[in-house]
Structure 1
Amino acid sequence: MIDEQAAHEGTTPDDGAMWVQPSGRSVDDLVAQVKALQHRVLLDADRIIGLAAERDTLRAEVERMADTELAVAFARVDQLEDEREGLVHEVHKLLRDHRLALELRDARTRTEVDQILASTTWKLGSAVIKPISGIRSVVRRS
């Protein structure tokens, strides 16, 4: 559990590994980044489930403990609950950050598409291709 925790804490959203970079990245890079974020969310959710199970186990042990051990066990339960709450907040923050990054990427993509469609090159190319497309459809029908 300690190794798992150390590995888990080694990648934080602040280290830049989970942040969507500005436009210019390929779709494959963005898909890989989304998958990495989803994997991180699953790891955090798994950790939360494990902490909840550990909390439940500790509570069961508390019932069997003597009065002197009871205070120590409850302190551990409180500590685990605090850790769980922190992880829940972290998962929510990751999800919010991920959603905002996707919205930003979507807005940039829409802007780029609008700029392409509004460009003189696109309009000129469309004007050149339109008659050729008409001829192709006439040829295909016959």
Structure 2
Amino acid sequence: MQHLCPEEPLTPSEPLISIPGAGESHCCLLHQPPRGPLHLRDCRVVRELQGILGQTKLTLPRVFIGGRYIGGAEEIRQLHEIGQLKKFVEGLPAAESGVCEMCGGYGFILCHECNGSHKCYSEKGDTIGFRSCTDCNENGLIRCPSCSAVAL
């Protein structure tokens, strides 16, 4: 169940999840045990994860602690139930209480350029009309500048 990943210093657990409201229902599962800072990773890293783990079919979330692959939602649940998850998170800093005031803890906010529509009006060159916004994702969201821990 534990596969080594590229060496990293001991860091808080980092589940890989899709954007809030559009992903796996297991995502909130990993926010319960244990209490510690969690970092959201965008689902665009799935291909990189497939290469690291040598698997082509993956479900999210996936958890790494200190550069070591721990598992997905089911593995985390099993480790928690048998009391083994505690040994993986010992020594990690405790979670800060409170929720980001800007995004409410979701890690994403509406795009300021298109107001969440993912469309912008453009008058460049010969093309006049609406185009896809290049600042946000397909849902009209951008990473929260206040609390997002991931740089793309």
TM-score normalized with structure 2 length: 0.24
- TM-score by structure 1 length? 0.25
Answer 1 or 2: which has greater helix percent: 1
